[in-house]
């Protein structure tokens, strides 16, 4: 449980850091354009390549917390239907994510010899490995949540902040 908590916290912190970096780079670039009529040459490229990291890490966290989008009819099913639908859904999800992770890893390896245009010391591998890493974390977090091992602080914070009784 402790290792699970560290993995989830590290994923959350990395996604948050990527988002803050992306946001900060964009704001600085806008300010520089408005004030000095110049921009950072690398800002758009770095911001564009941080988006997949934020997306895949965030999706994995939401899946583990049970906050990722779901088909409501499946979630509202009861008894053996719910068990069957969840099992089928998990199998389809795992096959799909496994295939995407495999293809993503192969592509990341192909891109490892290339570098960013504006930052030649940064390998394209760093960007494209976000896909297999995100898929692997997604699968891990689903398994952990199915066994009740995923820390649900994220889900609890969401429920507390969006309590319908507070709206009245």
pLDDT of residue 164: 53
The rounded distance, in Å, linking the Cα atoms of 28 and 88 is 47
Secondary-structure percent of the chain, ordered helix, strand, coil, rounded to 5 = 75, 0, 20
Give the per-residue pLDDT at 73.
Answer: 65
Whether the pLDDT of residue 165 is over 60: the answer is no
pLDDT per residue as tens digits for the range 71-123: 666 667 778 888 888 888 889 999 999 999 999 999 999 998 888 878 888 88
Query: What is the pLDDT, as a whole number, of residue 167?
Result: 43
Strands (E), the chain: none
Instruction: Look at residue 168 in the predicted model and tell me its pLDDT.
Output: 44
Least confident of 27-41, 81-95, 151-165: 151-165
Q: What is the mean pLDDT of residues 51-71?
A: 87
Is 4 within 8 Å of 150 (Cβ atoms)?
A: yes
What percent of the chain stands above pLDDT 70? 88
């Amino acid at each position: 449980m402790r290792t699970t908590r560290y993995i989830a916290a590290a994923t959350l912190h990395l996604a948050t850091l990527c988002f803050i970096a992306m946001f900060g780079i964009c704001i600085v670039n806008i300010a520089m354009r408005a004030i000095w009529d110049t921009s950072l040459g690398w800002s758009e490229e770095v911001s564009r390549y941080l988006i997949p990291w934020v997306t895949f890490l965030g999706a994995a966290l939401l899946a583990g917390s049970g906050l990722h989008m779901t088909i409501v009819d499946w979630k509202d099913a009861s008894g053996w239907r719910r068990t069957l639908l969840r099992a089928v859904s998990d199998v389809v999800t795992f096959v799909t994510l496994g295939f995407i992770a495999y293809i993503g890893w192969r592509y990341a390896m192909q891109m490892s010899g290339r570098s960013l245009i504006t930052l030649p010391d940064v390998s394209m591998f760093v960007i494209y490995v976000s896909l297999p890493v995100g898929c692997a974390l997604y699968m891990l977090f689903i398994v952990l949540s199915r066994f009740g091992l995923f820390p649900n602080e994220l889900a609890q914070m969401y429920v507390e902040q969006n309590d319908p009784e507070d709206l009245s």
